[in-house]
């Protein structure tokens, strides 16, 4: 299993959060419950294997639900 690897990635993600921007509104992203949540528009981007998928079409909470 790659649990340690993923844990390391998650730690890196926490360090990245101040540098990543939402592709929809360019506001800041925060890691919340395993997803990258935009502080501006509220979109939640999935994190797959420790890698944030910053694709607007893949985001949740943008009105699709």
Give the residues lining the site for Zn ion (CB under 5 A): 22, 24-25, 27, 38, 40-41
Q: How far is the CB of 5 from Zn ion (least distance, A)?
A: 29
d(CA 4, CA 26): 31
- In the complex with Zn ion, the residue whose CB is nearer, 13 or 44, is 44
Q: How far is the CB of 8 from Zn ion (least distance, A)?
A: 27
Q: How far is the CB of 26 from Zn ion (least distance, A)?
A: 7
- In the complex with Zn ion, the residue whose CB is nearer, 3 or 64, is 64
Q: How far is CA 64 from CA 1, 33, 60, in A?
A: 34, 20, 7
Cβ-proximal residues to 49 (8 Å cutoff; 6+ apart), any chain: 6, 9
């Amino acid at each position: 299993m790659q649990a340690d690897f993923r844990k390391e990635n998650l730690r890196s993600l926490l360090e990245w959060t101040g540098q990543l921007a939402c592709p929809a509104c360019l506001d800041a992203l925060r890691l919340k419950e395993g997803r990258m949540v935009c502080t501006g528009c509220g979109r939640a981007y999935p994190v797959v294997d420790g890698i944030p998928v910053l694709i607007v079409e893949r985001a949740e909470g943008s009105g699709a639900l």
